[in-house]
Structure 1
Amino acid sequence: MDVNNGPSEGSGNGTMDIEQSLLQQFSCMGTTDKEELVQQLQKLLGSSLNYSTAAFFLDMNNWNLQAAICSYLDIENSTKLPSMTLVQDPVASESESIEPNVSFQKVWHIINNGPDQWPTGCYAQCSDGNSFNGGRVVLPPLKPFEDTHLTVHMVSPPTPGVYQSKWRLCTEKGAYFGDPMWVIVTVVEEGTMALTQQLSSFSELGASPQPEVAHNPFIPQRSHLEHTQDAAPQGGRDYNMW
């Protein structure tokens, strides 16, 4: 795609919803800070572009912002993104408590709810928040309405607090697709979990105590026959020894 720095007519097919004046504004900034250029490209193209893909397209176009945008749109507009939905989505307010530096795993049940098979090379990665040392997970090319369990091995942060992590599926080219997946973890001080479990155990033991009947050895035990005769109508013999 040819790049034209001036305003062009009928450019809606190429740049879609991106305003030409906004492109010129970023181009005129003349910044050479690569980190800032990556952030600008992500802002223009929205959540469909992750950091590594933005850096790739900028590097491919000699870090020219407008040229990188045009290159990305040329490729992505001709490619239909896969579909994915969560079968079981964790409640956003749900928080798991865990001690610092503890290994754990997060599992999501996902399904290809689209009409096409996923392309090879799709993967899951952290797109925002704390990654909990979780790495990229490669996914199989699911067929339509085929499901799988995505498992990510993680480690809790060393400092107590509330942490969250947002995970997304990506195509081989780095475009996000499907439902976002969340991890919300509350890291507590070391030893707190054991104390909480002990208190819970004590509560369960004392929740409904069964009354114990003390046996007095000086009171003779009554036989089954005596209990039966006590239940007889009035007039029967009294077997009470006292």
Structure 2
Amino acid sequence: MDVDNELNDLDGKLLQQFSSMGTTDRDVLIAEFQKLLGNQLNPSSCAFFLDMNNWNLQAAIGSYYDFEQPSVTLPAMAFVKDITIGEGEAIPPNTPFVKTWRIKNGGNESWPPGCSLRFCGGDNMSRTDRVMVDRLSPNEESNVSIEMVSPGKSGVYQGQWRMNTSTGTLFGEVIQVVINVEDGGLLAVTQQMSRVGEDFVEMTTPLDPSNPFATPEKSPVDGVNTVSPIISQTELSSSPPVSNDAARWLIFAVSFSF
């Protein structure tokens, strides 16, 4: 597609329509954008280009043709799924939470270094406008998480995030953030309980597989040393030989004392 020729062909028509348009109604701008492109884009895609250019129709048209140049090979990103813990639950006002998505490099080339997921429209509920993303090989998947804080008033909020190269070029599918803020929401509680469960699993000391009668090691508390076994290996090795029956009774006594 010859971008310059296409733009030149549209100049007369665009200038005439731009000069006669004084509306700031977004629905009207979306419909006009879609009409000028011959209905090649759906309304949400039109809104994306318009929002990226502060709802300036002429600038949005230019951005669309710049983005669609065939001579420029952009990375590919496919949204796989939302894996946020507690997804779909409401969240109380002014409450921290974490959104996590799984994304995939759906192209044939590895992503260039320095790619990030960047806020591009709607309500930004994060303290940052971008987060760095691992460099992915073709068909490789990765999770990306963003820490957010719910707004102070009840209601439904949404924001859009998109992948961005180190030079500022957007690529891939738009990732939507939609949350319902209301008193008594359980999203934050669900995420906190999940973290507590993960911490408990990490802190649990496994039993010694070489000794089925061993107990988990107890950590020192307030200067008290760990509990020593009742009978040490040295003591057992220095003791006189015992019969098999006596040995079985001894093991039973030791395990029962624990």
TM-score, structure 2 length as denominator? 0.49
TM-score, structure 1 length as denominator? 0.52
**Distance (Å, rounded) in 1 between the aligned partners of 2:68 and 2:171:** 16
1:122 corresponds in structure 2 to 115
1:124–1:137 contact (8 Å) kept in structure 2: yes
Q: Tell me how far 1:49 sits from its aligned partner.
A: 5.0
**Distance (Å, rounded) in 2 between the aligned partners of 1:105 and 1:192:** 14
Q: Work out which of the residue numbers 74, 93, 99 in structure 2 matches 1:100.
A: 93
**Distance (Å, rounded) in 1 between the aligned partners of 2:50 and 2:83:** 23
Task: Please list every run of 5 or more consecutive structure 1 residues that lacks an aligned counterpart in the other structure.
Answer: 1-11, 32-38, 59-64, 198-242
State, as a whole percentage, how many aligned pairs show the same letter. Answer: 31
- Residues 51 and 137 from structure 1, CA distance in 2 versus in 1: closer, same or farther, beyond 3 angstroms? farther
Matched residue pairs, number?
165
**Distance (Å, rounded) in 2 between the aligned partners of 1:73 and 1:166:** 21
Moved over 4 A (4+): 16-19, 26-29, 43-52, 74-77, 191-194
Q: Work out which of the residue numbers 169, 174, 182 in structure 1 matches 2:176.
A: 182
Task: Name the one with the larger helix percent.
Answer: 2
Q: Tell me how far 1:104 sits from its aligned partner.
A: 0.8
Task: Please list every run of 5 or more consecutive structure 2 residues that lacks an aligned counterpart in the other structure.
Answer: 23-28, 191-258
Letter in 1 for 2:66: L
SS in structure 2 at match of 1:95: coil
Q: Work out which of the residue numbers 132, 137, 150 in structure 2 matches 1:143.
A: 137
Q: Deviations over 1:9-46 (max 9, x none)?
A: xxx612465552234337767x9xxxxxxx99xx5898
Q: Tell me how far 1:90 sits from its aligned partner.
A: 6.8
SS in structure 2 at match of 1:96: coil
Q: Work out which of the residue numbers 136, 143, 160 in structure 2 matches 1:166.
A: 160
Correspondences of 1:1-242 after superposition (within 5 Å):
13-15=2-4, 18=7, 19-20=9-10, 21-25=12-16, 47=45, 69=62, 73=66, 76-89=69-82, 95-133=88-126, 134-189=128-183, 191=184, 193=186
2:106–2:138 contact (8 Å) kept in structure 1: yes
- Residues 143 and 193 from structure 1, CA distance in 2 versus in 1: closer, same or farther, beyond 3 angstroms? closer
Higher gyration radius (CA) = 1
Q: Tell me how far 1:164 sits from its aligned partner.
A: 1.8
2:89–2:186 contact (8 Å) kept in structure 1: no
